[in-house]
Amino acid sequence: MGIGMALISLALMSYTSQAGSNIHPLILIPGSGGNQLEARQTAGYKPSTLFCNRWYPARKNKDGWFRLWFDLSVLLSPFTRCFAERMMLHYDPDLDDYRNFPGIETRVPKFGSTQSLLYLDPYLKHITAYMAPLVESLEQIGYVDGQTLFGAPYDFRYGLAAEGHPSKEGSKFLQDLKDLIEKASNSNGGKPVILLSHSLGGLFVLQLLNRNPPSWRRKYIKHFVALSAPWGGTVQEMFTFASGNSLGVPLVEPLLVREEQRSSESNLWLMPNPRLFGGQKPLVITPNATYSAGDIPQFLYDIGFPQGVHPYKSRILPLTEKLVAPGVPVTCITGTGVRTPETLFYGENGFDEQPEVVYGDGDGTVNMVSLLALETLWSNKKNQTLKVIPIRGVSHTSILRNDAALDEIMAEILLINSSAEHSAV
């Protein structure tokens, strides 16, 4: 490297630090499975096998904490079983809330920083990269972790519930996120914050905005940018509940993780919404019955998960009935033109076998009707600024690393940062 190069990088450095000090602070809110999660076993832990009692996926620290999500070894079947058991949630009807598997404690590392969102396994950065390319792009336009850039990881197995129902974990996350927003704004001269979510993170953000008064939103929120948000759920989620989802890895036997996936409260939140998918249109077809988004309770019962019916009806359905416009400016950036499960056909052997899938338009995971839901529902709302940016051929997660998508996202962030727009509420 010659002197010329050194001068250029010096010039760049001064440019970025200058821009950095002036830029609107930004908080990243990941999607389901998009951050690391740690666990430890306590005396009350009674695994189904002795093997699972002794096996740990990753190195354990002296207090017994180890990385539960994600470690590559869990993809091998004897380990998958232990992993699934530790990840499992339970709905407790007396508490009317979800809790961990008995004897398992969990925690989210490094709240506030982007550290636990970059890679799911810090020892296998290349193959488990999640938000690393996105964070790199943000740093190139001047963002600095811990100063102007923050991360809000959370225990993505938990969701939120309709008013009147407790949801201890999800509510705690909303409170932590609220505190982080205030801190980020206060430490940046009172500049309101840009929220940038991926997938499920967008559903949490919308709830946070609507659970806080307009005066708070006006003071603290500059703009909400939602990437790949499944506003109305996905047909893919019915697939996961019925037959298990191999985490996208052919090695994983889907039935080994099915019970754990069914137990996740946030997965239940992502069932297709009848208002958007229609109460009549068949999404799952078997020799015995057809199920539309309006038949989810019967569907849960028939796939052999009757425990899900009550929490779905009482906690989830009323939560998803309305997607309330928060008044703060919103941009949705979504992939399109990728084959996405739209109808599932099961044969004589029932739900333990993988279905035949008919595909439609979407981002590979989320159906178009769900990605574009806000446009459909908020089109006549005078106080709601909404911009939708579709990007063809980009999938649900490649939006976080595809060059064209990252350019589009950075252009939108810079536009927002420099604009004089503010909340209409």
Ligand X SMILES: *[C@@H]1O[C@H](CO)[C@@H](O)[C@H](O)[C@H]1NC(C)=O
User: Among the options 199, 228, 292, 370, which is catalytic?
Assistant: 199
The secondary structure of residue 306, as a DSSP letter, is G
Query: Which of 388, 424 has the CB closer to ligand X?
Result: 424
199 in active site: yes
Local structure of 350: helix, strand or coil = helix
Residue 288 CB, nearest approach to ligand X (Å): 4
Cis before 70 (ω within 30): yes
The secondary structure of residue 96, as a DSSP letter, is T
Distances (CA, A) of 263 to 26, 66, 213: 32, 22, 33
Residue 82 CB, nearest approach to ligand X (Å): 29
Binding site for ligand X (CB under 6 A): 19, 22-23, 141-142, 286-288, 302, 346, 350-351, 383, 414, 417-418
Under 8 Å between Cβ of 270 and 233? yes
Residue 326 CB, nearest approach to ligand X (Å): 10
Amino acid, single-letter form, for residue 220: Y
Element (H, E) at 413: helix 403-418
Residue 206 CB, nearest approach to ligand X (Å): 15
The conformational region for residue 135 under phi > 0 = left, psi -120 to 50 = alpha, else beta, is alpha
198 in active site: no
User: Among the options 363, 370, 395, 423, which is catalytic?
Assistant: 363
Query: Which of 294, 326 has the CB closer to ligand X?
Result: 326
Q: Report, in this order, helix, strand and coil percent for the chain, each rounded to 5.
A: 40, 20, 40
Residue 214 CB, nearest approach to ligand X (Å): 9
396 in active site: yes
Query: Which of 161, 284 has the CB closer to ligand X?
Result: 284
Query: Which of 231, 346 has the CB closer to ligand X?
Result: 346
**Nearest-angstrom CA–CA distance, 314 and 198:** 27
Query: Which of 297, 350 has the CB closer to ligand X?
Result: 350
Alpha-carbon torsion angle 205, 207, 209, 213, nearest 10: -160
Under 8 Å between Cβ of 249 and 73? no
Residues with a catalytic annotation lie at 199, 363, 396
